[in-house]
Amino acid sequence: MNQFNMGQVIQQKRKEKGLTQEELASAMGVSKSSVSKWETGQTYPDIYLLPELATFFSITIDTLMAYQPNLTKQEINSIYSELSLRFGSEDFETVFEDYEKLVKKYYASQPFLLQMAVLLINYFHLVDPMHHQEMYEYIINLTKRVKEETTEASLMSQANILEAFCQLQSGNIDEALSLLNYDVTIYMGEEQILSKAYAAKGDIRKAQEVLQVTQYQYLMALIITSSDELLYEVNQPDKFNEIIRRVRELVRTFELERLHPFLVLTFLNSVFLGYTQQFRYKEALDVMEEIVDLMVKQVFPIELHGDDYFYLLENWMKEQLHFNNNMPRDEKTIKESLIQFFETHPGIVTAYQGNQRYEQLIKQLKENKGD
């Protein structure tokens, strides 16, 4: 639903200037009752007054009119899913034209802009390399818009992280570090306090949900950061092997192939690349076979969900836009990205050129690409 909130803007700007309704009425050449009706939404100013009002308050007419294209979470998810499917099956430029139209249409919706930034990052591999820098700047502008306009701390934090990612990818390392305050924030147990607060109100189930969501997110973070650390430990075989051993234990213990297969895939990719850099080619191809088997046996779309252990995640996931019910990319795109990783990474191509087992696994993945 779309709505104008001009009355609220007029009232806010009038008060910021320290004016009474009568004083504003006098400045605009209208009655005090007219200003009162504007502010309560009973009527709107005549169209010829809009430029004068905007100039008087030193704002644009768009800001004065406060056109708010409100989108529900379900509507945002629906648009995300539709564009995701189209990016996976249609020409990127064609879909991006429609993407831009939607961004312009709902430019006042910060949650929507944030999800559009996430969407573009997830399909960034489709962007012509000649336009990578331009596209990163486009995403950065979206995140800056969110940070400038939102009053929600969570949206601001997510937008800041996305901007830092794009700045890093653009080569602006110091800017990325600055956005992230150059260091890791000390864990203060916010979630524990939140859980205890709900328990104190008598809402035990909500208290449990907070703890389960916290455990789930930190488990995901542990797998992701271990995947990154693995590649920094390639020259330290003992530590490298120990990371693999411990993460595999976590994968088995928490049944992550079923709970979050894409996360396991990310980890296995790092293991494969690390083994390759260590010239442990047989072990690397064993892991590649795991990767292919994991992808082939998946039923798409992969739905994010809880399980018997994390049994209170469902409602929380539905409320979080970035989960979007399904994985952020479609089956074809996920598998094409995987094939591209195996076929274009310089270290991989050099190591396995002419290797029959490697070529057979690539063929198997292509045969199950999901066209």
Looking at the structure, tell me whether residues 42 and 77 fall in a common domain.
no
Encoded tokens for 10: 């007029």
Residue 345 maps to a domain: yes
Please give the structure tokens belonging to residue 109: 């919706």
Q: What is the spatial distance between Cα 228 and Cα 164, in angstroms, rounded to a whole number?
A: 17
Tokens of 150: 């939102």
**Which tokens sit at 342?**
């195996």
Residues 330, 198, single domain; the answer is yes
Same domain, 240 and 362: yes
Same domain, yes or no: 161 and 144: yes
Q: Are residues 206 and 83 in the same domain?
A: no
Residue range(s) defining the domain that contains residue 89: 73-179
Q: Is residue 232 part of a domain?
A: yes
Per the domain annotation, does 338 fall within a domain? yes
Identify whether residues 209 and 346 lie together within a single domain.
yes
Please state, in angstroms and rounded to a whole number, the distance separating the CA atoms of residues 218 and 281.
Answer: 32
Structural domain count of the chain: 3
On whether residue 348 sits in a domain, the answer given is yes
Is residue 218 situated within a structural domain? yes
**Domain-embedded: residue 282:** yes
Neighbour tally for 137: CB within 10 Å:
13
Residue 127 shares a structural domain with residue 205: no
Same-domain check for residues 334 and 217: yes
CATH number at residue 169: 1.25.40
pLDDT by position in tens, the chain (length 371): 445 678 888 998 999 999 999 999 999 999 999 999 999 988 989 988 999 998 998 888 877 886 555 688 889 989 998 999 899 889 999 999 999 999 988 888 899 999 999 999 999 989 999 999 999 999 999 999 999 988 899 999 999 999 999 999 999 999 999 999 999 988 899 999 999 999 999 999 999 999 999 999 999 999 999 999 999 999 999 999 999 999 999 999 999 999 999 899 999 999 999 999 999 999 999 999 999 999 988 877 777 889 999 999 988 888 775 554 445 566 778 888 899 999 999 999 999 999 999 999 999 999 887 66
Of the candidates 307, 224, 327, 314, the one whose C-alpha atom is nearest the C-alpha of residue 270 is 224
The pLDDT value recorded for residue 65 is 80
In a domain, 318, yes or no: yes
Q: How far apart are CA 273 and CA 266, in angstroms?
A: 11
Answer yes or no: do 114 and 45 share one domain.
no
CA dihedral 288, 289, 293, 296 (to 10 degrees): 70
pLDDT value of position 1: 41
pLDDT score for 324: 46
pLDDT for 300 equals: 74
Q: Which of 69, 94, 114 is the last residue of a domain?
A: 69
Domain co-membership, 7 together with 113: no
**pTM of the predicted protein model:** 0.77
Quick one: 174 and 202 in the same domain? no
- Say if residue 238 is in the same domain as residue 349: yes
Let me know if residue 234 belongs to a domain: yes
Amino acid at 32: K
Among 124, 144, 179, residue at a domain's last position: 179
CA atoms of 6 and 39, how far apart (whole Å): 8
Last-in-domain residue among 69, 89, 123? 69
Q: Is the peptide bond before 45 cis (omega within 30 degrees of 0)?
A: no
User: What CATH number is given to the structural domain containing 51?
Assistant: 1.10.260.40
